[in-house]
Structure formats: C-alpha cells, structure tokens
Structure 1
Amino acid sequence: MTHRIYRDAILRISEEEQRISFESSHIIDNSYQMTSFLRELLAQMKQHTLTKGFTSKPEEIEFFRKIKPQILGKLIYYNKVYRVEISCPIADGKCREKYYSGELHRLKEEYREQISSSDFFRYYRSGRTDLDHEFFELGKINFNNGLDSYVFEIDPQFSTYYDYKVASIVASELMYSYLMSKIKPDFVELPEDKDFYWSDSKNALIELLYALHAAHSISGGRAGIRKITGVLQVLFRIKLGDIHHAFHRMKVRNGSRTAFLDRLKIALEQYMDKDLL
C-alpha cells in the first residue's frame, strides 16, 4: 500500500504538468502553480512517512533515492524558473539573451562547485547501489564526512541528507535544459499545408529520438540530443518543447517506460507476418 502511494505521487506530478500549459506567456504563473502544488505534495508525503513509515528497508531506500528527489527536485526547479522569470528584462533580443546566459553561467558554477566535484556525485552517476544503505536510510547521517551546513536544518525524520543531493542534481539538469532553450531555441517555423508530418504524440517522438541517441544510431553517437531534436522537428513539422522535461517524466511513469517502442515492435512484427501469408 505504501509503495503504491509513493508511486501515485509521481503520477500526480505528471498529470499536473500536463494539465498546466507551459506557454512562454504564462510561465511565471504556471511555475508558481507547480511550486505550490509540489510543496503541498511533499508535505503530504512527509505526513504519510511520519505516520505510516516504510514496510521495508528497500522501500525506504527507493523513496529517498528515487521518489522524494523527483518531487523535491521538481519543486526546486519550478521555484528557480519562477525566480528567474520574474527578474527577467522585459525587452526582447540581446538583453534577454545576456540575462539568460548569465543565469546559465551561475548554474554551471554552482553545479561544478557544489555537485559534480563530490564523491557522492560520482557514486550516484555511476549507478552504484552498494552504499545506498548508508546514503538513503534514515538515521545514517555521518557528520564526520564534513557535510554542508544545511544538514543541521533538515528534518532527520524525513531526510537522509543525500536525498537533497539527488534532488539538486535533478533540478540542475532541468534548469540547464530550460535556460538553453531560452538562449538557443530549437524551434523552427515551417510553412503550413504540407502532407508530410508527424501524426503520433510528441512523447512518442521524444521516446524515439532518445532511443536513437542512446543506441548511437545517428552519426555513430556523435550527434547530440539537441541536434537530433532540431532535425526531427524540421523533418516532421512539429515543435517538441522541453524534451528533457518530458524524458524525466517518462523515466518514472507507470507501466512500460518505452511504450511507443514497444508498440513499434508489435506493429512491425504484425506487418512482417502479413508478408508471410
């Protein structure tokens, strides 16, 4: 039961993000709405954790390594978007680009100094799990490691310290994608009334382009996500929006995380079977 409640929380985030349209003209209001929603959701998770606890240590580790950081990471991200946008210059052009570039520079410095230089970052990025019982179980905070001072401000009943570290990674990567989209938009305006276009969902195409990138199927893996995205947007006459954000949602969605690729495989096999008849 507890496991399902935590998983449902991730699904609620996805549904709320889909409900709110993140158009540029409404980004301040939308990011504020998501910040409020995620604060309330995190409070509900805390209340459930304090009253019900966990059914097992593996469930506890999964919550603090994967589930809470997704909620907290999104909360940090949307709050940053809100703060960046309310301070953004009204004028278009070079002024705005310089502003976003400055924010990106600060983000990179913060990421380098506070996140990527740490031993924990290398542990987490490598996919290791052998020390998860030390990093993601309650009551295991080791002050002898010289932890950041904010450790004294966290609630030890609802944080292992390192869940915040993972949330910071999630938030920084989302923020990087957001700022890059402001500095170098991928979108290409195309003439209308063309017969060749993408007729499936945007998420389906995003799933496909990440699969092509992961399999090194384009340019031997040397073509980056941004370049592949730009080509597919032009080819299929579609604007994909924040693909990195959509990909993060795919990684935690219920059911198959590769729903479109699974459907492609079935469709191709059925098509092959027809030729055999």
Structure 2
Amino acid sequence: MLSIEYETLYSSMLEQLQNINGALDEAANNLSDSLYCTVSSLQSLREMLKKYPPEDEAEQIYFFKYVKPKFQSWHIYVIEIHHLLLSVPIGTEQMIRDYYMNELHVINRFTQRYAFYYQYYLTNETSKDADFFLPSNKTEFPPEQENIVVEAGFATNMDFIFAKFRAFDMLRDFIIKRVRLLYQKVELGILSELVTARKFWWSGDKVELIELAYGIYHTHRFNGGAAEINDIVQWLEESLHVDLGQAYRMFLDIRRRKTVSYTKYLDEMSAAIHHHIDESNSLKRKKKKVLRST
C-alpha cells in the first residue's frame, strides 16, 4: 500500500486549499479553484490506484474506507461551506445564530437518516466491510449516489457516504465554532471577532495536533501529569484558534493507521530537528577546516 504517497498527495491538496482560501476551515473564497484542486487530487489518487492496485481485499477495503473518503470529504466540504457562508442572513446576531443552529439541525437530520451507517462509521465497525468497501460488491444505487456517475472500480457502496460523514463532521465543527464566537462576545459582532481572532494559526492537518496533544498527555508534562487530555486539547484550540471538537474521532484515525507510523507527525518533527542539528554541525566542521587552512 502506498501510504506515504497517499499522505504526500493529501498534504499537497491541503496546502493548495490553504493557498487558495487563506484558512482551511473557511474554504469559501474561491470555489472554482478549490474544486479544481480537490478534483485534480482525486484524479491523481485514481491514477495512483490504477498504477499500483491493492494486493488483496484488505488493502482494497482500507483504501475505500479511509483513503478515498479522506480526499473526497474536502471536495464536499468546500462546496457545503461555500454555500453555508453565502447564505448567512444580513440582520441581527440572533438571526445569524438561528441560521447556524438550523444548519446544525440539517446535519443532524442527515446523520439520523443514515443512522446505521453513521454508527458504523463512528465506531469503526468492520463486520460489513466487504459489502461496503469492495468495488466488486457495489450495487446499482448505493445511498447518496443515485445521481453520481463514477468510473468503474473507483467506487463502492459506502465510500462516498463515509466521505460525506467526514465532511459534515468538519462542517459541524465550523458551525459550532461560529456559534461559540457569537455567544462569547456578542457586543463585538461576528465580523469584528473574526477579524481580530488569529495571531497564531495552525496550517497543518488537525490530526497532527491530536498526535501532539496525546504525546503531551501520555508523557505527563502538563501540571505534573494532572492535566486531562481535554484540557490539553482546549489549550491547543485557544492558542492556535482551531476547533478540535472531533478529537477522539481524529485519534481513531491515528489508531487505524496500518503502514504509516502512529506518530507520523511527531516522527517528522524528530527527523527535522535531527536534520537541522546535523546540518549545523556539518557547517561548524567546515568552518573549522577553513580556519585551520588559513
């Protein structure tokens, strides 16, 4: 399985979305460029799958249960958040709060409509994985795909709806964040709050922060080890102006990794520090040689 290649492609897509929109959780500034980015990434993912097909059914299931939905969720998300923000009413803050609360109800109705599948998604069930995530078992009209035309071999019964679950989880986080802002400082208004909000902000994937949070928690470095994981997550949220409301859900993503390290981001940090120190030491040795020669 090409886990490193998938992660590289995914990171590149997120970086492009950030460059287009400024902040990944507010990807609404340029819908056409954002969609071009997500569609191009999905096309690259499809070509990668053709070139290096999964070796067995387990790898096929992993790809369509976790990898493809991770990419496709951003395609769905940029569309949803674009329309969400365009439709915010011009009026009182109570009208804006009511609008966002209604949008939360829309998301909840969707998950209730597909309650069995959503529970399967949340609990990381595996009993029906072969039916849900093998292209060979795809039925004619899977849920939510009645009007979607996809290339043969690049769709299963549940990969799209799992992508939609992921997208709606992100959208729910965004809406809750906006509602919190409205209730926290009503006198400022939502626009002034958003303008003054960010000094430091996180430009990576949220799951990387969850790695960091659990690393701090399990090494007992905060408050003599007395800090709970929720306290650490809240501290990261407030410091970096990011919503990590689905922290446990993202930790499940980390636990599901099979060929990628559970501590991928922490490993990357360690490698970067070692590289920097090695480069610095090498530069010092070169300077000493130059001084000796003179």
Distance 1:18 1:96 in 2: 26
Distance 1:13-1:53 versus aligned 2 partners, 3 A rule: same
Distance 1:141 1:147 in 2: 8
Task: Please name the residue that 1:66 is paired with.
Answer: 66
Structure 1 gaps, min length 5: 190-197, 264-277
Distance 2:213 2:76 in 1: 27
Quote the RMSD (CA, aligned, Å): 4.4
Shift of 1:80: 0.3
Structure having greater relative contact order (Cα 8 Å, sep ≥ 6) = 1
**Selected match of 2:266 from 245, 253, 259:** 259
Distance 1:162 1:70 in 2: 13
Task: Compute the TM-score of the two structures, normalised by the length of structure 2.
Answer: 0.62
Shift of 1:207: 4.3
Shift of 1:96: 1.8
Structure 2 gaps, min length 5: 186-192, 194-199, 220-224, 271-294
**Selected match of 2:124 from 115, 124, 127:** 127
Distance 2:130 2:209 in 1: 38
Are residue 52 (structure 1) and residue 51 (structure 2) matched?
yes
1:159-218 Cα offsets, whole Å, 9 max, x none, are 0121112112111110110110111139899xxxxxxxx9x9997765444667899x87
Structure of larger gyration radius: 2
Tell me which amino acid in the other structure corresponds to 2:55. Answer: S
Shift of 1:88: 1.5
Distance 1:76-1:210 versus aligned 2 partners, 3 A rule: farther
Distance 1:23 1:160 in 2: 28
Tell me which amino acid in the other structure corresponds to 2:101. Answer: S
Task: Compute the TM-score of the two structures, normalised by the length of structure 1.
Answer: 0.66
Give the number of equivalent residue pairs.
240
Identity among equivalent positions (%) equals 19
The residue correspondences of 1:147-226 to structure 2 (distance < 5 A) are 147-148=142-143, 150-151=145-146, 153-155=148-150, 156-185=152-181, 207-209=211-213
Distance 1:7-1:209 versus aligned 2 partners, 3 A rule: closer
Tell me which amino acid in the other structure corresponds to 1:70. Answer: K
Distance 1:3-1:220 versus aligned 2 partners, 3 A rule: closer
Task: Please name the residue that 2:136 is paired with.
Answer: 139
